[in-house]
Structure 1
Amino acid sequence: MKPRLVATDLDGTLLHSDGTVTPRTREVLAELDRRGVPVVYVTGRPVRWMDALWETVGGHGLAICSNGAVVYDVGARGIRSVRPIPAETVLEVGELLRRDLPGTAYALEKTTGFGVEPEFTRRHDRKHMEVPVAPLEDLLDGTVVKVLAQIEDVDPEVYWRQVEALVGDRVTVTWSSEWAMVELSAFDVTKASTLALVCDEFAIDAADVVAFGDMPNDLALLEWAGTSYAMTNAHPLVRELADHLAPANDDDGVASVLSDLFGL
């Protein structure tokens, strides 16, 4: 049986390392569209980072952004649903991490934009961050869909485990960066849990979904889907969990697998 729905991560998975979508991948996606097979882009990216991609990945359908916090209607260019983090939870988690992991700094992804603490900008070029810069409590002026917490001079996976141990009962903790920055969503909000809600609307079972990913924030998605592929370039945890291994993102791995699965 061919899959009834395709769910794919973007960075490190569908996209090449330079952030582009190749003609081969575009043609495969277009052919699936012609055949009526939904392709859902399931990404940690916020909606504001997606505008330049719609033309190349398909300007229709749905995208799940911010690790499951936002479902975006691509055709209507509007947010369809939001699973936010309550402001009180943001403050509680912020205080706990700052107390037990001193040096942690925060950024907030909101439906109305992005804001960062002064310390968060140390790793980034402030000239290219034309966003509000203020303490965490002063950034809570909108609907928060994701908190970014980062620290200097700590191994990324070690930091992820530490944060999970401290606040994993209050928020969902995941990680997709090469440095010590973790991503916090509302409790039980993951790429998988939101995709499950979307599939319920389409009357599609998990067994009929094929999913692709490369980083730890894809683990829940790959575990939930009936068929899962880790990219050859994926993090070891992802390679260990997935059912199958796809060629690397820079070798059009998603397009290659989909061509085989659908006989393109």
Structure 2
Amino acid sequence: MSTPPPTAAPRLIATDLDGTIVRSDRTVSARTIAAFARVERAGGRFVLVTGRPPRLMDEIAEVFGHRGVAICSNGAFRYDLRSRSVTAEHAIPVEVLGETARRLRAAVPGIGLAVEYAHELAGDEHYEAGDWDSDTTVQRRPDTDLFGRPAPKLIGRHPELSADELLALAAPVVGELVTVYHSNGERLVEAVARGVSKASALGELARREDITPEQAAAFGDMPNDLPMMAWAGTSYGVANAHPDVLAAVDHVIGSNDEDGVAAVLEALFAES
């Protein structure tokens, strides 16, 4: 993929992590780290915008030298990488959480459910731990505890259905209650509070710093990135992105394993 020709450098760079700047081997290249340092030297702001919860951000914080801000759990948290602390949280209310769980179980037999907080993950007996977790990190709880307090994110995993198939089943039955999406292909569907998204959290942060959408560029690879990319003045999808992303973005760039984001940033923030 070719790098788009340089334009005026954005004031804000917003990027997804996994599949976008994190490579297939779960590393971030030295080139990518240097490219984001270039953004900062030019006076730009960068924000990491991810589906990961804060508990899975330690390695990323180390990579970026504990600088900057991350939007986590698809907009449910704003997380300060320097202090490793949550500075804002948007949770699904208890009554909505329980009703969403009931509808998902009815619409998708066999689904296992879990709730995700900043630093813990709790699931029912059917929830299958994913690549990021082991069975020992998932706290097994009865429904009264699982759905008895507000939760920033609700997760459903199915033993057979793909993420796209799960989303197609879930969206019609819970879309009026929560923001439902998927961020990978690992048989997973996810939900945050209604009105919460990567775009809403990014917009909130930008307004605090007097940055307009037109002054922002966004990079991503999955359907949960689409609201953020629609919000930003310029959007970039990596070559390995979901087809829905590739169809919607302004520019298609090199893949995550080719450091596509770094190549664009080097062009936008050229140094002599």
The verdict on a shared fold, with TM-score over 0.5 as the criterion, is yes
The yes-or-no answer on 1:185 pairing with 2:192 is yes
The yes-or-no answer on 1:161 pairing with 2:163 is no
Q: 2:140 & 2:38 partners in 1: Cα distance? A: 44
The yes-or-no answer on 1:152 pairing with 2:159 is yes
How has the CA–CA distance of structure 1 residues 143 and 93 changed in structure 2, closer, same or farther, with 3 Å as cutoff?
closer
Q: Which moved more, 1:93-102 or 1:227-236?
A: 93-102
Contact 2:238 2:253 in 1 (8 A): yes
Q: Which moved more, 1:194-203 or 1:146-155?
A: 146-155
Please tell me the root mean square deviation across aligned C-alpha atoms, in Å.
1.8
1:11-22 matches, within 5 Å, as 11-22=18-29
How has the CA–CA distance of structure 1 residues 74 and 240 changed in structure 2, closer, same or farther, with 3 Å as cutoff?
same
User: Aligned residue for 1:42?
Assistant: 49
Q: What TM-score does the superposition give when structure 1 sets the normalisation length? A: 0.94
Q: 2:214 & 2:230 partners in 1: Cα distance? A: 11
> Share of identical aligned residues, percent?
39
The yes-or-no answer on 1:54 pairing with 2:55 is no
Q: 2:189 & 2:42 partners in 1: Cα distance? A: 38
1:1-264 matches, within 5 Å, as 1-121=8-128, 128-140=135-147, 143-264=150-271
Can you list the C-alpha shifts for 1:43-85, whole angstroms capped at 9, x where unaligned? 0000000011112124122100000000011122211100111
Structure 1 segments unaligned to the other structure (5+ residues): none
Q: 1:122 & 1:66 partners in 2: Cα distance? A: 17
Structure 2 segments unaligned to the other structure (5+ residues): 1-7
Partner SS for 1:144: coil
Contact 1:41 1:62 in 2 (8 A): yes
Q: Which has the higher helix share?
A: 1
How has the CA–CA distance of structure 1 residues 124 and 134 changed in structure 2, closer, same or farther, with 3 Å as cutoff?
farther
